[in-house]
A = this chain, B = another copy of it.
Amino acid sequence: MNDLPFAARMARNLIHVCRDGALATLDTSGHPHASHVATATMIDGAPLLLVSALAVHTQNMQRDARASLLFVSPDVDGDTNTRARVSLVGDVAPVDDVDAARMRFLRRHPDAAMYAGFADFGFWRFTPRSAHLVAGFGRITDLAADDLLAPAGMAAALASSDEGAVSHMNSDHADALKLMAEVLAEAPEGEWQSVGIDPLGIDMVRTGPGPQTSARVEYDEPVGDGMALRKALVALTKRARASLQTA
């Protein structure tokens, strides 16, 4: 693929929309080990893991920070080789801001509240250094960390708005979330709740009956404070309404 912005958006979409991935770590002998992990994202878009110290992959990560994380688009019928996927290569480390990590992870995985407080469970950040996107059969793009993550300064500045913005959207703007998910992200109809904002976009999950589905919509421009975020979300909602009226 030659359209780098499109490929980068597709990779970010996979990272944010998938709720689990395959983690590759190294065992004591340097042999690779593939395991299943539940995932969320940090405010800058880096994958966030909640793992038990008793798990093999955690013991591997404690010895060697080198890891890889694979996200695959939801199953399709037909050839599994046509599924879009992204392989991230990077390093893992326990998160610094555990409170922010817990909030973001539990919004994405409410069932994890049951064990997130266990003494042996901890939050880890996966910092990607590069990524390899296979958008489908033969459609391959190599991406850099800058293509996947929001600028660190903007992420840090927006962090204080995360909790308030998400709860405000969920309590007062369910209609706007529904428009953004169904019209802009072309996701299935239902009730939609936000599970996180970041400098580049907003993540949502469909609640209620039926299979759990996620959607992400990105703003026109990155945002680095609450005011810019508010304007970006209003602009997205207007775009969704306009798109509905011309449909």
Interface set of A (CB-CB < 8 Å, partner B): 19-27, 30-36, 38, 56, 66-70, 72, 74-75, 77-81, 83, 85, 87, 89, 109, 111-112, 115, 132, 134, 137, 211-212
Contact = CB atoms under 8 A, between A and B. Distances in A.
Give the number of times this chain occurs in the complex, counting copies: 2
25 contacts: A20-B80, A20-B83, A24-B24, A24-B25, A24-B32, A24-B34, A25-B32, A30-B30, A32-B33, A32-B67, A33-B87, A33-B89, A34-B68, A36-B72, A36-B80, A36-B83, A36-B85, A36-B87, A56-B87, A74-B75, A75-B211, A78-B111, A79-B109, A79-B112, A80-B109
A36 B75 CA distance: 12
Given A25-B32, A74-B75, A115-B137, 10 more contacts: A30-B30, A31-B68, A32-B67, A34-B68, A34-B69, A34-B87, A35-B70, A36-B85, A56-B87, A75-B211
Contacts of A81: 38, 109, 111-112
